[in-house]
């Protein structure tokens, strides 16, 4: 979801909505079952901390040069399964020690889960093409090239120079492109002219290969992108495997590439 220059990853939006539903149900049950908002907060906090710690442990090398980034959760680096397991354990512990709150806690937690799964099902119904769109793109150097599978795992990043999240993640992608030789990275600028794109990359010393221009935003329309940056992951035959809205950190990009392609950086 895009609000002007700000992009809200769909996964974060769904999580926020489900948490809001959970706390709302807890508030509505307060008169009948007692105050459970603190319990819900403890369950949520336990899950979030556990998910973050698991992510940091798995990709610790990405944090060694700047340990403060461990606390910078804007990269949305979380191991969700670990977080869910920790939250379930915390909920079970609270229910065991606070029997009179069992019904209220169960109803509130189930409501949050239902809200999340419903939102997930709704977003999954978006008609994103399941194969690499067939279109010709002009490279930043002026040559025309068809967008087509080449047998390699392919990551396509839709970006723009005015997009702040895009600005933050481009150096991350530049490093990944230089190090991940088994993956083809393609960067398709949306809606801007060649001179502006060249000037932007040169002025920031960002070295990218496979930079293309899409002045009519054709590709974004074809894949039904909700905002920028949008990153699409395809296999070597051009089959869509995953779509991500929002910026990547180095650790988060590594996690996605490993999860989708089984390639470790």
Predicted pLDDT at 90:
94
Helix (H), strand (E) at residue 204: none
User: How many helices (DSSP H) and strands (DSSP E) are in the chain?
Assistant: 9, 9
Q: Is the dihedral of CA 159, 161, 166, 169 positive or negative?
A: positive
**CA atoms of 65 and 94, how far apart (whole Å):** 38
Dist. CA 265–CA 257, nearest whole Å: 9
Give the pLDDT of residue 141. Answer: 86
Give the pLDDT score at 15.
85
Whole-number pLDDT of residue 171:
94
Q: Tokens standing for 186?
A: 């393609």
DSSP state of 239: B
Geometric angle at alpha carbon 164, from 163 and 168, rounded to 5°: 120
Helix axes 10-28, 37-58, angle to 10 degrees: 160
* pLDDT in the model for residue 160: 92
Q: What is the pLDDT of residue 7?
A: 53
**Secondary-structure breakdown of the chain: helix, strand, coil percentages, each rounded to the nearest 5:** 55, 15, 30
Helix axes 102-124, 37-58, angle to 10 degrees: 50
Q: Are 113 and 18 a contacting pair, CB within 8 Å?
A: yes
Query: Which run of H or of E encompasses 53?
Result: helix 37-58
HSE value, Cβ hemisphere, 13 Å, CA-based, for 51? 19
Q: Which of 172, 22, 157, 140 is nearest to 91 (CA)?
A: 22
Catalogue all structural domains in the chain, each as residue range(s) with its CATH number.
2-124 (no CATH), 135-261 (3.40.30.10)
User: What local confidence, expressed as pLDDT, does residue 123 receive?
Assistant: 63
Per-residue pLDDT of the chain (265 residues; tens, 9 = 90+): 444 444 556 677 788 889 999 999 988 888 777 788 999 999 999 999 998 898 888 778 777 777 877 787 767 778 888 999 999 999 999 998 888 888 889 999 999 999 888 877 766 555 566 888 888 888 998 888 888 888 999 999 999 999 888 998 999 999 999 999 999 999 999 999 999 999 999 999 999 999 999 988 889 888 888 788 999 999 999 999 998 888 888 888 998 999 899 887 6
């Amino acid at each position: 979801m895009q609000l002007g220059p700000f992009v809200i990853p769909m996964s974060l939006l769904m999580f926020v909505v489900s948490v809001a539903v959970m706390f709302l149900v807890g508030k509505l049950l307060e008169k009948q079952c007692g105050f459970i908002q603190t319990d819900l907060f403890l369950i949520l906090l336990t899950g979030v901390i556990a998910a973050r710690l698991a992510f940091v442990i798995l990709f610790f090398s990405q944090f060694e040069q700047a340990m403060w980034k461990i606390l910078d959760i804007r990269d949305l680096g979380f191991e969700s399964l670990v977080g869910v397991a920790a939250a379930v354990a915390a909920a079970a512990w609270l229910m065991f020690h606070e029997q009179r709150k069992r019904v209220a806690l169960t109803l509130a937690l189930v409501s949050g889960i239902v809200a999340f799964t419903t939102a997930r099902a709704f977003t999954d119904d978006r008609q994103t093409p399941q194969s690499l769109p067939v279109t010709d793109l002009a490279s930043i150097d002026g040559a025309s090239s068809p967008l087509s599978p080449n047998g390699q795992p392919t990551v396509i990043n839709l970006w723009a120079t005015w997009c702040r999240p895009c600005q933050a993640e481009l150096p991350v992608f530049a490093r990944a492109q230089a190090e991940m030789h088994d993956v083809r990275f393609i960067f398709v600028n949306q809606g801007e002219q060649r001179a502006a794109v060249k000037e932007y990359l040169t002025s920031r010393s960002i070295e990218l290969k496979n930079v293309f221009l899409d002045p009519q935003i054709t590709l974004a329309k074809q894949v039904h992108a909700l905002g920028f940056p949008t990153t699409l992951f395809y296999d070597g035959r051009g089959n869509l495997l995953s779509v991500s809205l929002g910026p990547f950190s180095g650790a988060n990009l590594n996690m996605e590439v490993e999860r989708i392609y089984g390639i470790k950086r």
